[in-house]
Structure 1
Amino acid sequence: MRSQIDPPTSGWETLELSDGRLVGVLTPSRRTEHAVVAVCPEHPTRLETVRVLELLGTIADDLLDAGDSSQAMHEYCRYLTRSYENMAMIYRLVRSLGRIGSAEEVVGNSIENMIDTLECDWAAAVFADEPRMLGELSGKVFASGVGLAPSEIERSARTLLDRFGGGEGVAITPEENDGVGAVIQSIRFRSKRVGDLVMAGKRDEEGDVSSFDTQLMEAVSACIASLLETIRLYEEQAETFVGTLRAFSSSLDAKDPYTRGHSERVALLGKELALASGMSETEADRVHLAGTLHDIGKIGIPDRVLCKPGRLTDEEFGMIKRHPRIGYDILKPIPMVRDLLPGVLHHHERWDGRGYPEKLAGEQIPLMARVLAIADTFDAMSSNRAYRPARERHEVLEEIGRCAGSQFDPDLVPAFLAMDLGPFDRMLARHRREMVDTQTSADAKAA
């Protein structure tokens, strides 16, 4: 009798033993380790045995077909599950693209979702040092993993990038990478590679990466590239818009040669005071823009009043006092400058409540407006006017100090008095030269 029966790779086979008996061997679902042997217990005739085994073979074939169908259904269900998970992740990612200005949040969430969807040990996004193209993402690494520190993941990601380089869906087999499968997918923005997505350590039995993994990472890379493009277009649009507003504000200042460059200088002083008082760089930049636009409402003031060479009458001064409200109304419909409205509307309020347009007092006055009030007054006293020359520096600083607690926020005045005014002086000198050059050119044309 045979000491060993070699089952078929799949299906049903009839084999003869050494004693002449016939046996049937069934291998279900192409798994030889699960083979079943059927042996007749008695000694029927050979013909009867063959018929019985043929019947068992027919049953076995039916069982095999059912097993194959079950396996196919199982694989199909897995396929649908993976497809759904991938589509769900891409859907979440695409929805997050609508939050302009949240690039770090979008990328961070994408990495977290990749860990769950790809069922891998870790994932990372490594960005190049490209400040102009990437903004806040420039030079940063976003990493997440199961039981791993971000610094450890970053080292592993950079090691893989050094060994295998970046590319479009580079699949790395476990045999190539010390038993750990991995995928590298480049992130391209405006035809330039600006970063890479890296994932490693599949947690299934085989540990191999699949087309699902490479396709999902390609989709995530495309979404991040789309985010970068959207943010860049938004920034370019904002830069164009703000540039237009600045040019508009400068043209208003230039109507009167004595106020040329006034808004630019107020913006400079406002930003420096904002930083000196503890505001962040981002907040100080917004104060700078508010300073640029703080007098934009003067577009609604008649030129005969705005450019009057002598002192204003009470009626004319009443017209001038309308410019903060006019500026507020002009800018209010524009979303990207909505946070500047308090500075534009309230930069003529006084700490003691005797200012305009709403007679706010103390900390009722928005901080941005309190900062601009000092900057605006300092520049006005430091500049020539048709009805008076600029005051001496020590006189201006003494007046600023004397008005602490009455006109100005007493906590901001010391910070202002300690500021380096060198950049202001250089800007003021440049504006004065421009005024002289403009006047000389006008006189030459008139002659």
Structure 2
Amino acid sequence: MNETDALRIQQNELIRALQRTLELHCPGEADHAERVAVYSVATAHELGVSEAELLDIRRAAALHDIGKVAVDRDLLVKPGGLSDEDIVALRLHAELSIRVLEGIEWLAEAALMVRHHHEHWDGGGYPDGLQGDEIPLGSRIIGVAEAFDVMTMASPFRELRMPEEALAELQRCAGTQFDPGVVSAFGRIQALVQPIGMKG
């Protein structure tokens, strides 16, 4: 094993350790992150991104909700609707992710993608109200992948949608919440990775 391979193994072990930490705080998040990573990598590959960016997207998708480790667990599992105050507190996880990952140089690009994965194509997202191409491509991809996975996974907090229904919702929101080009690419690969999204 050469030095580069050994370093990559250590990096992957750190990512898995961070995922386990989040899983202990909010069960189910590790599996969700892995599904989002599979969708994100497949979509990015379909869009023809470079190998270097593909790796950053894979890392960002795996850690996209890591900031939730700093959010009150009771809020993460709270049944019923959230108050305005709850929503503000929950939305902080995107910014808190940067604080968790800061100082890890090889995660710098991924951390930026994580910060902005809740931005909207039309500028209506958070935390910085970026719009269009101001939003990192990886963030736009992860946003679509996460939305699809959330819609197609059973949860006591929301109605389960079939994959075709979730895809139709993504298409409905293309141009407002989501990058139309990313939604189109996701639509082309979704059936290939559908079993991942349908895990219970």
Name the one with the larger strand percent. 1
Alignment correspondent of 2:86: 316
Q: In structure 2, what is the Cα distance between the partners aligned to 1:252 and 1:428?
A: 22
Which SS does the other structure have where 1:333 is aligned? Answer: coil
RMSD: 1.9
On the 8 A contact 1:347/1:369 being kept in 2, the answer is yes
Which SS does the other structure have where 1:412 is aligned? Answer: helix
Letter in 2 for 1:269: Y
Alignment correspondent of 1:269: 39
Q: How does 1:235-384 map to 2 (within 5 A)?
A: 235-253=5-23, 255-257=25-27, 259=29, 261-384=31-154
1:416–1:324 Cα change, 3 Å: same
Per-residue deviation, 1:420: 4.0
My pick for the range that moved more, 381-390 or 359-368, is 381-390
Per-residue deviation, 1:332: 2.0
Alignment correspondent of 1:425: 195
Per-residue deviation, 1:255: 4.2
Which SS does the other structure have where 2:53 is aligned? Answer: helix
Q: 1:388 aligns with which of 123, 145, 158?
A: 158
Per-residue deviation, 1:424: 4.2
On the 8 A contact 2:26/2:73 being kept in 1, the answer is no
- Equivalent pairs, count: 200
Larger Cα-atom Rg: 1
Structure 2: state its 5+ residue gaps. none
Q: How does 1:70-149 map to 2 (within 5 A)?
A: 133=1
1:379–1:428 Cα change, 3 Å: same
Per-residue deviation, 1:256: 4.0
On the 8 A contact 2:75/2:86 being kept in 1, the answer is yes
Which SS does the other structure have where 2:122 is aligned? Answer: coil
On the 8 A contact 2:116/2:136 being kept in 1, the answer is yes
Letter in 2 for 1:364: E
Alignment correspondent of 1:402: 172
Structure 1: state its 5+ residue gaps. 1-132, 134-231, 433-447
TM-score (norm 1): 0.42
Q: In structure 1, what is the Cα distance between the partners aligned to 2:105 and 2:5?
A: 14
Letter in 2 for 1:415: A
Alpha-carbon displacement from aligned partner over 1:87-133 (angstroms, at most 9, x marks no partner): xxxxxxxxxxxxxxxxxxxxxxxxxxxxxxxxxxxxxxxxxxxxxx4
Name the one with the larger helix percent. 2
Identity %: 34
